[in-house]
Amino acid sequence: MIRPLQTALESNHYILSPSLLGALTPSHPGQAVGTLFEQYQAQGYLWLRGFLPRAEVIAFRRHFFSAFRDTGILAAGSDPAEGLWSGQAEDRALAAKRLMEVVRSAAYEAFCLHPRLWQFLDEFLGGPAYLHKRKIIRYTKPSEKSATGAHYDLVYLRGGTDRFCTVWIPIGDCPIEMGGLVYLEGSHARGQALETQFTQQNQALPPEERLSAFNKNMGEQGWISKDLPALAEKFGSRWLVADYEAGDLMIHSPYMIHAATNNLDPQGRLRLSTDIRYQNVRDEIDARWSNHWSLEDML
Ligand SMILES: O=C(O)CCC(=O)C(=O)O
């Protein structure tokens, strides 16, 4: 059961009725790593509550939005840690520049390499953890009518092992209405079946295209669908949602189908998150992910 929502959830232009929603199962980061790994395999995800120190996550939120002060995206006079939207059009070129500066900064790298995180992952992955250099950080404004469509991550990272995992970190509180990640319950098996199908279809393509998330056999942007309600109905499943808090993190399997919903935060805050990929350094590494993320890298 999820709590009553302040507004109907929407993803792109599709409304998700409460009957298609369920609650993510939280896990306690203090549990034995072996037990957590079993949960991850069974569910396709782990929601680790309070994994990172809340104050450090909020400090990084402040750091991030402070860099955007001159773009017009923040409400005048507000604390950047709040990430309050100005309600006005920002200077988009400048905002893109600031975003790329953060992506390349030592502060962001250090945040993604929080010792608590890599030390946990060394154990979780059964060997030295490797962080892919291509790390994504996203903010969404309350006015945006678009959100990440349903997909599984292997589509974008097919050139190496399928034993990597994605870590999604909300940078700040992210209540359900703010449009955090939503997961299609039990869908990691379906992701695996879809990938087997794509592998067969892609076989006839030249090697580089075969790996691409954007080849002719894949959906728009590598997505399975933007229509989250139809996908849940088709698979007889539900979208699992959560009130994420600063300090929480999600770890999900490369086959787990997930998406995001529009940011409908009644307080008008920007949603901020990062999604990064870790794997065991001894497994094959997709060389295409060895550069910083850029808005046009088409990966
Ligand atoms: O944050 C988002 O909107 C998408 C993130 C995502 O797809 C991921 O973490 O794999």
pLDDT tens string 31-64:
999 999 999 999 999 999 999 999 999 999 999 9
DSSP 152-174: -GGGG-TTS-S--EEEEEESS-B
pLDDT confidence tier of residue 114, bands split at 50, 70 and 90: very high
pLDDT of 59 reads 98
Q: Please give the number of the atom of ligand 1 that sits closest to the Cα of 147.
A: 3
Among 112, 168, 299, the mutation site with the greatest number of ligand 1 atoms within 8 A of its Cβ is: 168
Please tell me the residue having the least CA distance from ligand 1 atom 8: 275
Cα dist from 25 to 43, 44, 273, whole Å: 9, 11, 20
- The alpha carbon of 52 and the centre of ligand 1 are apart by a number of angstroms equal to 19
**Does the pLDDT of residue 23 top 90, yes or no?**
yes
- The alpha carbon of 272 and the centre of ligand 1 are apart by a number of angstroms equal to 11
The pairing of strands 249-252 and 258-260 is: unpaired
Among residues 269, 298, 299, 5, the alpha carbon closest in space to that of 139 is found at: 269
- The alpha carbon of 263 and the centre of ligand 1 are apart by a number of angstroms equal to 14
CATH H-level, domain 10-56+132-289: superfamily: q2cbj1_9rhob like domain (2.60.120.620)
Any residues with CB less than 8 A from the CB of 28 and at least 6 apart, and which? Answer: 48, 49
Question: Tokens in use for 69?
Answer: 């002060």
Q: Please give the number of the atom of ligand 1 that sits closest to the Cα of 168.
A: 9
- The alpha carbon of 281 and the centre of ligand 1 are apart by a number of angstroms equal to 23
The pLDDT tens digits of the residues spanning 182-206 come to 999 999 999 999 999 999 998 999 9
- The alpha carbon of 55 and the centre of ligand 1 are apart by a number of angstroms equal to 23
256 vs 44: CA distance, rounded Å: 6
Among residues 142, 159, 108, the alpha carbon closest in space to that of 276 is found at: 108
User: On the CB side of 165, how many CA atoms lie within 13 Å of its CA?
Assistant: 25
Bigger pLDDT: 211 vs 140: 140
CB–CB of 177/264 below 8 Å? Answer: yes
Q: Which residues line ligand 1 (CB under 6 A)?
A: 138, 148, 153, 166, 168, 181, 258, 260, 273, 275
Model's pTM, two decimal places? 0.97
pLDDT of 55 reads 98
